[in-house]
């Protein structure tokens, strides 16, 4: 407890996302938001660059430089790279003399092994104290929902690799679920459609651009075409191709239905008095996927509940973990420290 008020203690919240990593430093706000990519020198195992700088470096770099994306579906897939990435980015965000207390969001239902991996990575990266909390709860706090009140609040965090749905009341989680489905699942569905319907392969950047500029959760009023260069699967040559917005809508619809099914089930299981509050207050969408055209309209139509997109939806989780770690005594029900997670091992 003594360290709690120490001027040398820095409270830090990290959103270790499948697509992007964001860091929130108490008193400074969000100080870093970059793709979760680390460039490493394969000969020495040393990190060379992080985020966009890493992506740029690859274009000019020699053979021994490799790009690593260590997060998969919101959890650590490559532990060694994750702790090096955390250490590297923390060194860019804070002075090393400070005592770091770090909170990271983890998907609902993350196993103790997965939570321990996050904690170990933070300790290895230099944290003196490490905590985890559910991503959905962090999103609700970050989106400024009134989760302290004795009323129901619902958030759907549509990330890249995961969707986290949570119902909160009285600073606690009533129900929550994490799906291994996110905005990257739309990319996968589009890639498969292009291959099967048009025998064309497209790179990830092209598919991302296609999804953002023409993708929609509801049937678009204007059926515009998206033109792109792809590689013919028949002869391997580059060729111009196009896809209509209505096709993207149909392709993405299957993934959206899985998300809707989970949200509907959670609402059905919610105690009626809290469900009534949610009908009144609405569901809040966070995460980059909340920006999908028509996402709020579709969810509202299908669930019969008002839906709002949070301001800066992709920043909600990092703002939430940052806020909770800075006021941890107020949010104890939402946080798990090493003492609880490690004890359960035995």
Residue 210 marked ligand-binding: yes
Residue 282 marked ligand-binding: no
Q: Between 193 and 212, how does the x/- string for binding to ligand ATP read (CB under 6 A)?
A: ---------------x--xx
Nearest distance, CB of residue 293 and ligand ATP, angstroms: 7
Q: Which of 183, 206, 270, 335 binds ligand ATP (CB under 6 A)?
A: 183
Interface size with ligand ATP, residues (CB under 6 A): 23
Q: Considering the rule CB under 6 A, would residue 74 count as an interface residue with ligand ATP?
A: yes
Q: Considering the rule CB under 6 A, would residue 184 count as an interface residue with ligand ATP?
A: yes
Name the helix (H) or strand (E) containing 263: helix 245-269
Q: Which of 38, 137, 245, 292 binds ligand ATP (CB under 6 A)?
A: 292
Q: Considering the rule CB under 6 A, would residue 134 count as an interface residue with ligand ATP?
A: no
* Neighbouring C-alpha atoms within 13 Å toward the C-beta of 17: 35
Please name the residue that has the structure tokens 């059905």: 268
Cα–Cα distance, 220 to 42 (Å, whole number) = 46
Dihedral pair phi/psi, residue 86, rounded to 5°: -60, -45
CB nearer to ligand ATP: give 287 or 320: 287
Residue 10 marked ligand-binding: no
Angle between helix 245-269 and 204-214 (nearest 10): 80
CB nearer to ligand ATP: give 230 or 288: 288
Task: Name the residue among 68, 64, 63, 92 with its Cα closest to residue 80.
Answer: 68
Q: Considering the rule CB under 6 A, would residue 176 count as an interface residue with ligand ATP?
A: no
Neighbour-count burial for 158-191, b at 16+ CB within 10 Å, e otherwise: bbbbbbbbbbbbebebbbbbbbebbbbbbbebbb
- Residue 326 tokens read as 């800075």
How far does Cα 191 stand from its chain's mean position? 21
Work out the burial of residue 2: count CB atoms within 10 Å of its CB; fewer than 13 is exposed, 13-18 middle, 19 or more buried: exposed
Nearest distance, CB of residue 286 and ligand ATP, angstroms: 7
Q: Which of 11, 82, 153, 162 binds ligand ATP (CB under 6 A)?
A: 162
Cα–Cα distance, 260 to 250 (Å, whole number) = 15
Q: Considering the rule CB under 6 A, would residue 320 count as an interface residue with ligand ATP?
A: no
Q: Considering the rule CB under 6 A, would residue 314 count as an interface residue with ligand ATP?
A: yes
Nearest distance, CB of residue 340 and ligand ATP, angstroms: 23
CA angle, residues 172, 164, 203, in degrees to nearest 5: 160
Q: Which of 11, 12, 13, 20 binds ligand ATP (CB under 6 A)?
A: 20
Q: Considering the rule CB under 6 A, would residue 18 count as an interface residue with ligand ATP?
A: yes
CB nearer to ligand ATP: give 278 or 321: 321
Specify which residues 286 forms β-bridges with: 157
Q: Considering the rule CB under 6 A, would residue 160 count as an interface residue with ligand ATP?
A: yes
Q: Which stretch binds ligand ATP (CB under 6 A): 3-11, 177-185, 193-201, 234-242?
A: 177-185
Return the number of other C-beta atoms located less than 10 Å from residue 294's C-beta.
Answer: 17
Contacts to ligand ATP by CB under 6 A: 15, 17-20, 74, 159-162, 182-184, 208, 211-212, 215, 287-289, 291-292, 314
- In the annotated binding site for ATP, the residues are 160-162, 208-211
């Amino acid at each position: 407890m003594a360290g709690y008020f120490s001027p040398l203690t820095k409270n830090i919240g990290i959103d270790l996302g499948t697509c992007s990593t964001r860091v929130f430093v108490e008193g400074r706000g969000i100080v870093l938001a970059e793709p979760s990519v680390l460039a490493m020198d394969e000969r020495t195992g040393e990190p060379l660059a992080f985020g966009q700088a890493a992506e740029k470096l690859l274009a000019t770099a020699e053979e021994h430089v490799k790009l690593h994306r260590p997060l998969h579906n919101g959890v650590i897939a490559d532990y060694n790279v994750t702790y090096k990435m955390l250490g590297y980015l923390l060194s860019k965000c804070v002075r090393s003399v400070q005592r770091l207390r770090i909170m990271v969001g983890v998907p609902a239902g993350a196993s103790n092994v997965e939570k321990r991996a996050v904690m170990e990575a933070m300790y290895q990266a230099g944290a003196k104290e490490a905590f985890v909390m559910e991503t959905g709860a962090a999103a609700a706090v970050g989106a400024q929902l009134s989760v302290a009140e004795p009323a129901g609040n619902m958030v759907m965090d549509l990330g890249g690799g995961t969707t986290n749905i949570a119902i909160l009341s009285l600073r606690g989680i009533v129900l929550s679920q994490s799906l291994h489905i996110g905005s990257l699942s739309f990319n996968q569905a589009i890639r498969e459609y292009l291959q099967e319907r048009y025998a064309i392969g497209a790179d990830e950047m092209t598919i991302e651009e296609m999804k953002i500029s023409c993708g929609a959760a509801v049937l678009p009023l204007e059926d515009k075409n998206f033109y792109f260069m792809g590689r013919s699967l028949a002869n391997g040559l580059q060729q111009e191709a196009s896809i209509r917005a209505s096709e993207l809508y149909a392709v993405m619809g299957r993934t959206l239905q899985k998300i809707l099914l989970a949200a509907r089930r959670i609402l059905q299981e919610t105690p009626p008095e809290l469900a009534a509050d949610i009908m009144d207050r609405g569901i809040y969408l966070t995460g980059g996927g909340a920006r999908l055209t028509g996402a709020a309209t579709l969810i509202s139509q299908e669930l019969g509940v008002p839906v709002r997109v949070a301001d800066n939806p992709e920043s909600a989780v990092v703002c939430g973990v940052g806020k909770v770690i800075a006021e941890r005594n107020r949010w104890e029900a939402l946080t798990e420290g090493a003492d609880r997670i490690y004890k359960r091992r035995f």
